Amino acid sequence: MLRTLTVAAVLATAAAAMPAAAAEFSGFRAELQGGWNSTSIGYVDAFGTNFENSSSAFGYGAEVGYDFPISETVIIGVLGNVSGSTQSYTDMLCPDGTSACLLGRPNVNANMGVNFSAMARAGFKVADSTLLYGGLGYANQNVKYYITPVGGVTVEDSQSYGGFRLAAGIEQAFGESFYGKVEYRYTNYQDDVSTNQVWGGFGMRF
């Protein structure tokens, strides 16, 4: 009994001594996101020529994470993110009416599929309820290609590209439960696929 009371007292003391940052930037969280999404992708034709295209559109997603304060001003955390985009690409072998438009070429269109990422982040508390942070991790982007040969039937080809993601942002706490943030992300995938994003998010801590 005495040992149980002693352990309880130690845990209570540790909780009381937790850094002040814990109130705003610690624990499990979940959020909804949306913003500007620009992706550059390429398509390699039958002759080995890589046609690069870029497009900007609206992106949307959701994120869950867990943060832990290691001092009164510093937090570390992990997160997972899943997102989509309204981006599409039309006639990728002839994006601007150039000499790439050859007689007898297929028509290649593309849509952005599901994107997911897993990251670690670290932040620095610059004010009572304001956090600057940066993140690094892995991301995977699916792209759906629609290839129509001249006089032929459209064939769908789905490709997934993996790569690393860098992020930096500012997070503002609204009490102990709610927060909002603005974040920039750069993702470099394989095969010269890359993404730039400026997103906002609003979430809740539990």
- Spell out the domain ranges in the chain: 33-39+55-205
Which H/E stretch holds residue 23? helix 22-25
15-38 exposure pattern, b = at least 16 Cβ within 10 A, e = fewer: eeeebebbbbbbbebebebebebb
Cα–Cα distance for residue pair 145/5, rounded to 1 Å: 64
Reported as a pLDDT band with limits 50, 70 and 90, residue 48 is confident
Query: Is the model's pLDDT at 100 over the cut of 60?
Result: no
Q: Determine the Cα angle at 75 with ends 9 and 82, to 5°.
A: 115
Each residue's pLDDT tens digit, 120-143: 999 999 998 999 999 999 999 999
Each residue's pLDDT tens digit, 72-86: 999 999 999 999 999
Q: What is the pLDDT of residue 175?
A: 86
CATH 3.40.50.1370 fits 33-39+55-205, yes or no: no
Query: Is the model's pLDDT at 35 over the cut of 90?
Result: yes
Q: What is the pLDDT of residue 104?
A: 66
Per-residue CA distances from 191 to 44, 133, 151, 164 (Å): 10, 29, 29, 13
